[in-house]
């Protein structure tokens, strides 16, 4: 297989790291991006066992100027950019719309929406130069409908689904397919600590809280990060060649769309 | 890889069109595949061609999906020949356009019988066989973008495909605890015998002014700029039968080149 590079954001987190491992196994070279400095250690770790080259860049992708080192790392690898995996995301501080801190609103929108627009603006020209490629965003089943106390998060993920469709419409002629994966609950640190927090709020055990939540899911468990990574890999590969603008619901059956 | 390598699969309506391509994909992936179809001549030829292509193997079974006994027989053939039923693809279906005000009871009943009841029977019988064998199987149903939105000139087909989506969701809830997942895929406009006939019928009906026009006007709405080849759906269906989609159930994957964006 000829050399090809993917840029993955949020690569130090649960889904991001699993996706990086999956892509590395599939022969991709990677630029791994995360706001956390630990991304360079993650990259070094994955690079050690990979056929391609894996480089980590710590960057706050909500700022356009922070993307320069990401692009520099890409050029350093020296192979065409064929995929963007826009995985970085954040939860919100839980609370009602009425009293929502607007700084929190802006933070959530900044990471979950704005950063993805900035990434597209910066890297779509390079996908075009490479003769086309794929963009995969990570939305959420919470972007499929609104939920109380999660207004910023739900709105940001709904916006991301819409952004995915608009970009798909604009970029189809360039051979760039744009799709989204909408996970349900995923057994990441983000999800498990949210369960712990809710358990503490209700004064119940972590296991009881987990059972309460997971019993709502027909498959009775949260996804493994690798299962979300598998969907990202599918949407970034040739077997999804006729899919664009779609949102793939990988949620164990917790929501049917 | 031997023909028993990955176990058995059944594809209904596999003699031609999308079903044939899915069966070919399963064989290439190492499955033993039962080509279940009402058309014996074409079905036999398809089974032979796919077996020669290599990978797994294909056998023909004459199946009318509205006849429960014939589905049970096909499952029997699959288990006997390939050792198991791992993947059930309920794909058989047909369309017959009629202007909305002229839809007859006969057309309605005929289409609903095959496209909806046939899928119910297929899910039920596959589900029972998988439960009995303790197989964490994959059931995949062929829906359509016509199940997401109604079209004026083939309402019974739209209804039947909405039914497929609904059956997919009900079955997903019913079978999740057994480790069986049930998903659907929804093709858009695909260059298959079904669509070629539909295009001809719409022209004969006066719903289009030239052959190829009905299909062409649909294609204009597709972001990727072309109607699908049957092969275009195989990658997505393969994703659904592979362990890559183990956390998906009750979902409908639209494969339309970007038409409805749902």
pLDDT tens-digit readout, B25-55: 999 999 999 999 999 999 999 999 999 998 8
| B178 DSSP assignment | G
Residues of A catalogued as catalytic = 153
Residue at A29 is within a domain: yes
Q: What is the mean pLDDT of residues A6-32?
A: 97
CA distances from A162 to A136, A158, B158 (A): 13, 6, 26
Q: Which residues of chain B lie closer than 8 angstroms to A18, CB-CB? A: none
Give the distance from residue B238's alpha carbon to the nearest chain A alpha carbon, in angstroms: 8
Residue B3: per-residue pLDDT: 40
CA A37, CA A34: separation in Å to the nearest integer?
Answer: 7
User: How many Cα atoms sit within 13 Å of B255 on the Cβ side?
Assistant: 28
Give how far the C-alpha of residue B61 lies from the chain's centroid of Cα atoms, to the nearest Å.
16
Residue at A194 is within a domain: no
| B147 DSSP assignment | G
CA B234, CA A239: separation in Å to the nearest integer?
Answer: 8
Which residue ranges of chain B lie beneath pLDDT 70?
1-4
A247-250 and A29-34 beta bridge pairing: unpaired
A112: containing domain: 5-186+223-250
CB B34 within 8 A of CB B78: yes
Q: Which residues of chain A lie closer than 8 angstroms to B243, CB-CB? A: 230
* Residue A134 contacts B where some CB pair is shorter than 8 Å: no
Enclosing H/E stretch for B89? strand B87-90
Task: Provide ipTM, 2 decimals.
Answer: 0.84
Residue B157 a catalytic site member: yes
CB A39 within 8 A of CB A63: no
CB atoms closer than 10 angstroms to residue B149: 12
Phi, psi of A55 (to 5 degrees): -125, 140
Note whether A242 contacts B250, CB cutoff 8 Å. no
Residue at A144 is within a domain: yes
Note whether B235 contacts A172, CB cutoff 8 Å. no
Measured CA angle at B239 (ends B176, B235), to 5 deg: 145
**% pLDDT > 90, chain B:** 90
CB A129 within 8 A of CB A176: no
Q: What is the largest CA-CA distance in chain A?
A: 55
CATH number at residue A45: 3.40.50.720
Residue B121: per-residue pLDDT: 98
Give the distance from residue A187's alpha carbon to the nearest chain B alpha carbon, in angstroms: 12
Residue at A200 is within a domain: no
CA A211, CA A104: separation in Å to the nearest integer?
Answer: 30
Note whether B247 contacts A233, CB cutoff 8 Å. no
* Both structure tokens of A23: 């892509």
Residue at A206 is within a domain: no
Residue at A209 is within a domain: no
CA distances from B158 to B115, B149, B164 (A): 10, 7, 10
Note whether B176 contacts A233, CB cutoff 8 Å. no
Note whether B250 contacts A218, CB cutoff 8 Å. yes
Rg (CA), chain A: 18
Domain count, chain A: 1
Residue A2: per-residue pLDDT: 63
Give the distance from residue B102's alpha carbon to the nearest chain A alpha carbon, in angstroms: 32
- DSSP secondary structure string, chain A? ----EEEEESTTSHHHHHHHHHHHHTT-EEEEEESSTTHHHHHHHHHHT-SS-EEEEE--TTSGGGGHHHHHHHHHHTS-EEEEEE----------GGG--HHHHHHHHIIIIIHHHHHHHHHHHHHHHTT-EEEEEE--GGGTS--TT-HHHHHHHHHHHHHHHHHHHHHGGGTEEEEEEEE--B-SHHHHHHHHHHHHHHT--HHHHHHHHHTTSTTSSPBPHHHHHHHHHHHTSGGGTT--S-EEEESTTS---
Q: Which residues of chain A lie closer than 8 angstroms to B228, CB-CB? A: 242
CB atoms closer than 10 angstroms to residue B140: 25
Residue B1: per-residue pLDDT: 39
pLDDT digits (tens, 9 = 90+) for A57-80: 999 999 999 999 999 999 999 999
Note whether B261 contacts A168, CB cutoff 8 Å. yes
* Residue A257 contacts B where some CB pair is shorter than 8 Å: yes
CA distances from B253 to A142, A186, B165, B188, B217 (A): 18, 20, 10, 11, 23
Q: Which residues of chain A lie closer than 8 angstroms to B234, CB-CB? A: 239
Residue A1: per-residue pLDDT: 47
pLDDT digits (tens, 9 = 90+) for A196-222: 998 999 999 999 999 999 999 999 999
Residue B61: per-residue pLDDT: 98
Q: Which residues of chain B lie closer than 8 angstroms to A234, CB-CB? A: 235, 239, 244
Name the closest residue on chain A to residue B254, using Cα atoms. A246
CB atoms closer than 10 angstroms to residue A47: 18
Average pLDDT, chain A: 96
Q: Is B17 helix (H, G, I), strand (E, B) or coil?
A: helix
Name which of B24, B26, B175, B258 to mutate to probe chain A: the one with the most chain A Cβ atoms within 10 A of its Cβ: B258
């Amino acid at each position: 297989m000829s050399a090809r590079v993917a840029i993955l954001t949020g690569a130090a987190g649960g889904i991001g790291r699993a996706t990086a491992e999956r892509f590395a196994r599939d022969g991709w070279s990677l630029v791994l991006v995360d706001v956390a400095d630990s991304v360079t250690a993650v990259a070094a770790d994955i690079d050690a066992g990979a056929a391609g080259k894996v480089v980590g860049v710590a960057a706050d992708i909500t700022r356009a100027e922070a993307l320069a080192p990401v692009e520099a790392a890409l050029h350093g690898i020296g192979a065409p950019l064929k995929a963007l995996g826009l995985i970085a995301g954040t939860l919100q501080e839980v609370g009602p719309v009425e009293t929502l801190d607007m700084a929190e609103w802006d933070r959530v929108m900044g990471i979950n929406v704005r950063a993805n627009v900035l990434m597209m603006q910066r890297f779509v020209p390079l996908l075009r130069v490479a003769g086309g490629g794929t963009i995969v965003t990570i939305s959420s089943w919470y972007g499929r409908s609104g939920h109380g106390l999660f207004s910023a998060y739900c709105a940001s993920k709904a916006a991301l689904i819409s952004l995915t469709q608009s970009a798909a419409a604009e970029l189809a002629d360039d051979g760039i397919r744009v799709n989204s994966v909408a996970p349900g609950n995923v057994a990441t640190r983000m999800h498990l600590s949210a369960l712990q927090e809710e358990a503490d709020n209700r004064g119940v055990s972590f296991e009881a809280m987990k059972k309460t939540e997971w019993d709502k899911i027909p498959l009775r468990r949260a996804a493994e990060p690798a299962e979300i990574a598998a969907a990202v890999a599918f949407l970034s590969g040739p077997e999804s060649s006729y899919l664009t603008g779609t949102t793939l619901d990988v949620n164990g059956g917790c929501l049917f769309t | 890889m031997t023909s028993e390598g990955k176990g058995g699969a059944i594809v209904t309506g596999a003699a031609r069109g999308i079903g044939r391509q899915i069966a070919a994909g399963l064989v290439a992936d190492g499955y033993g595949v039962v080509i279940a179809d009402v058309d014996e001549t074409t079905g036999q030829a398809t089974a032979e061609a796919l077996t020669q292509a290599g990978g797994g193997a294909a056998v023909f079974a004459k199946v009318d999906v509205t006849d429960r006994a014939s589905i049970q027989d096909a499952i029997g053939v699959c288990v006997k020949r390939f050792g198991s039923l791992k993947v059930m693809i309920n794909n058989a279906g047909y369309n017959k356009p009629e202007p909305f005000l002229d839809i007859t009871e006969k057309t309605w009943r005929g289409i609903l019988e095959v496209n909806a009841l046939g899928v119910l029977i297929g899910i039920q019988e596959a589900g029972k066989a998988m439960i009995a064998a303790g197989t964490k199987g994959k059931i995949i149903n062929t829906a359509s973008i016509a199940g997401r939105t109604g079209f004026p000139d083939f309402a019974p087909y739209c209804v039947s495909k909405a039914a497929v989506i609904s059956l997919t969701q009900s079955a997903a809830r019913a079978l999740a605890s057994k480790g069986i997942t049930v998903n659907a895929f929804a093709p858009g406009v695909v260059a298959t015998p079904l669509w070629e006939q539909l295009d001809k019928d719409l022209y004969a009906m006066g719903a289009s002014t030239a052959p190829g026009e009905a299909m062409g006007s649909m294609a204009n709405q597709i972001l990727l700029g072309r109607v699908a080849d049957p092969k275009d759906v195989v990658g997505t269906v393969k994703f659904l039968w592979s362990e890559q989609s183990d956390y998906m159930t009750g979902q409908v994957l639209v494969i339309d080149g970007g038409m409805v964006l749902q």
